[in-house]
Chains A and B, each alone.
Chain A
Amino acid sequence: GAVVSQHPSWVICKSGTSVKIECRSLDFQATTMFWYRQFPKQSLMLMATSNEGSKATYEQGVEKDKFLINHASLTLSTLTVTSAHPEDSSFYICSARGQGLNIQYFGAGTRLSVL
């Protein structure tokens, strides 16, 4: 099946710094990528949808200036958590869908811990 690589898998940072998370589709072109957030023992919450070459669409309640999403190529999307605070600590997961593919493929997730 299709592979989506997410990096890093775990990041610890100081409060106030910015963190970038990468999501790559390794063997297909991802026309759409999705970013989710997951708290312990809870389900995935969609943060934003990004289409290659256009601005991301954010879900209600998600601060677009805090969570910057860039989908500059058909194989790479990045999520930057700007000026991270402890409440931003969470598990962030990306998924990707290729043109003509009717399912999403998920990355392994990134655990962000903000001290």
Chain B
Amino acid sequence: TQLLEQSPQFLSIQEGENLTVYCNSSSVFSSLQWYRQEPGEGPVLLVTVVTGGEVKKLKRLTFQFGDARKDSSLHITAAQPGDTGLYLCAGEYYSGYALNFGKGTSLLVTP
């Protein structure tokens, strides 16, 4: 199994602050997904990135894929309590194969 590093593992911030979550690997991804998971539920897909240098925005969330397709970041602007949850990056090293998940970032946004 390829190693996919995600950081930070835990993040506790106040409403209105910005934050960035990082996902890194020594190998090239064919694609990378970001998920958000609520307790007791399955992961929900936020975005898929496939092209090096790609930037995608989803309201206050900005996703970036590194030029070399080995790293990605998730930036949340003006975090809200509703953003609280577990954020997971998952990389696909070979198209059609299983996803390799990072350890996840547990985000808590307090009012």
A-B pair number, CB within 8 angstroms: 60
CB distance from A72 to the nearest CB of B (A): 20
Does A104 lie at the interface of the complex (its beta carbon under 8 Å from any beta carbon of B)? yes
**Interface residues on chain A, size class:** 20 to 34
Provide the residues of chain A in CB contact with B100, threshold 8 Å: 46
Does A111 lie at the interface of the complex (its beta carbon under 8 Å from any beta carbon of B)? yes
Nearest residue in B to A106 (C-beta to C-beta)?
B42
Does B43 lie at the interface of the complex (its beta carbon under 8 Å from any beta carbon of A)? yes
Query: In the complex the two chains form, is A103's CB within 8 Å of B96's CB?
Result: no
Does A71 lie at the interface of the complex (its beta carbon under 8 Å from any beta carbon of B)? no
- List A residues at the B interface (Cβ < 8 Å): 1, 4, 6, 32, 34, 36, 41-46, 49, 59-60, 91, 93, 95, 97, 102-109, 111
- List B residues at the A interface (Cβ < 8 Å): 1, 6, 31, 33, 35, 40-45, 48, 50, 86, 88, 90, 95-104, 106
Known A46-B100, A102-B48, A103-B31; 19 more pairs at CB < 8 Å: A1-B45, A6-B42, A34-B98, A34-B99, A43-B6, A43-B102, A46-B99, A49-B98, A91-B40, A93-B43, A95-B42, A97-B96, A102-B50, A103-B45, A104-B99, A106-B35, A108-B42, A109-B41, A111-B40
